[in-house]
Chain A
Amino acid sequence: MAKFERKGKKELQQISTASLPDIVFMLLFFFMVSTTMRETTLMVRAQLPEATEVNKLEKKSLVSYIYIGPPTKQLQAIFGTEPRIQLNDSFKTLDDIRDFIAAEREALKEEEKPLLTTSLKVDKDTRMGIVTDVKQELRKASALKIVYAARKAE
């Protein structure tokens, strides 16, 4: 029967890729909306401790970060393994914290200045000595609202 006759070698039907850009754009928008820009490159290892009673930080623009921990592997040759303080993109000493807080406060709007929050991202193997020093400096700079950054434990 002619109906079922094989017409020689049939070529494979090409899959239409017309919708591929749409799919990729959808993914792109998802990531653009749900993520935030990385602001600083971490120069210290800050593996956060776990806690169950954590709450979310609401306004990210009000938060300034202080990282404390041992320098990362690549930087250990230069800076050693003692825990250090990182503000913005470089290692700083305790005396720089006051200037840092002043600068962060200056960047905020007048009505938001008292709401400035300092997030301490401290490596969990750090000793409390350096953290206490930082806290004393923050008290001197009267940046009293602090957050001990922690991961949420399940």
Chain B
Amino acid sequence: MARKVPEVNASSTADIAFLLLIFFLMTTTMNVDTGLTRMLPPMPDPKQKQEDVEVKRRNIFTVLINKSDRLLVRGEPMEVSMLKEKTKEFIMNPNNDPNLAEFEERELPKLGMYRVSKGVVSLQNDRGTSYDMYMKVQNELVAAYNELRNDLSMSVYGKPYGKLSKDEQEVISKAIPMRISEAEPKNVGGK
């Protein structure tokens, strides 16, 4: 007769598992990293002669933030809440206003000849600007571009921009290029 194997006492596995669980709870984090992705302009080559890229005044949308977090957009004070609409209006220039951005006709796949805006958003800030305000303005500018891209992609593909494939996204981003330039920092104002 085969002898019965004595059963292993398993009551402590729960304790061991709890110990491990608590260890992992303490040492790990769950936060997903999110943020606004940006490309910095490359450092200008000191050997090369600085040739100023001529951009017409009407094609620049200057946004200045001063050290008390106030906005000056194209020479006029403005609230952050207005910035998105103004930026969209500037880029698309629906009424062909001579003060807003120009267009150039460009051949694009799927879209045919498309009027690509020549507008550039130029963002300048002071050393004393708070990071919170800076991010708010960045966010509004990105939001303006994203909304325009979304509108175009809805009318062309019937899907929002985020749901498009890589190639389709490229078409849209060529039609509405995101041009946000951050000026070379100038030392104005105190800390």
Number of A positions contacting B (CB below 8 A): 52
Q: Cβ of B132 < 8 Å from any Cβ of A? A: yes
Task: Kindly state whether residue B8 has any CB partner on chain A within 8 Å.
Answer: no
Complex interface: chain B residues within 8 A of A123 (CB)? 131
Partner of A34, one of B13, B30, B42: B30
- A-B pair count, CB < 8 Å, reads 151
Please tell me the size bucket of the interface on B: 35 or more
- Check if B43 sits within 8 Å of A139, measured CB to CB: yes
Determine the main DSSP class of A at the interface with B.
Answer: mixed
A150 within 8 A of B: yes
Q: Are A148 and B129 in contact (CB under 8 A)?
A: no
Instruction: Indicate if B99 sits at the interface (CB-CB under 8 A).
Output: no
Q: Kindly supply a per-residue 1/0 record for chain A positions 33-54, scoring 1 wherever the CB is within 8 Å of any chain B CB and 0 otherwise.
A: 0111110000000000101111
CB contact under 8 A between A151 and B34, given known A38-B29, A128-B128: yes
In terms of DSSP, what is the predominant structure of the interface of chain B?
A: mixed
B152 to chain A, nearest CB (A): 17
Cβ contacts under 8 Å, B14 to chain A:
17, 20-21, 24
Chain B hits for A124, CB < 8 A? 130-132, 135
Task: List the B side residues contacting A63 at CB < 8 Å.
Answer: 33
Q: How far is the CA of A41 from the CA of B129 in the complex (A)?
A: 28
Docked-complex contact B29 and A126, CB < 8 angstroms: no
Q: Does B59 contact A (CB under 8 A)?
A: no
Contact flag A31-B24 (CB < 8 Å), given A126-B130, A132-B185, A142-B43: yes
Known: A51-B35, A145-B40. 16 other contacts (CB 8 A): A20-B14, A21-B17, A28-B24, A31-B24, A38-B28, A51-B139, A55-B34, A117-B37, A122-B131, A124-B135, A127-B130, A128-B127, A145-B37, A147-B38, A148-B38, A149-B34
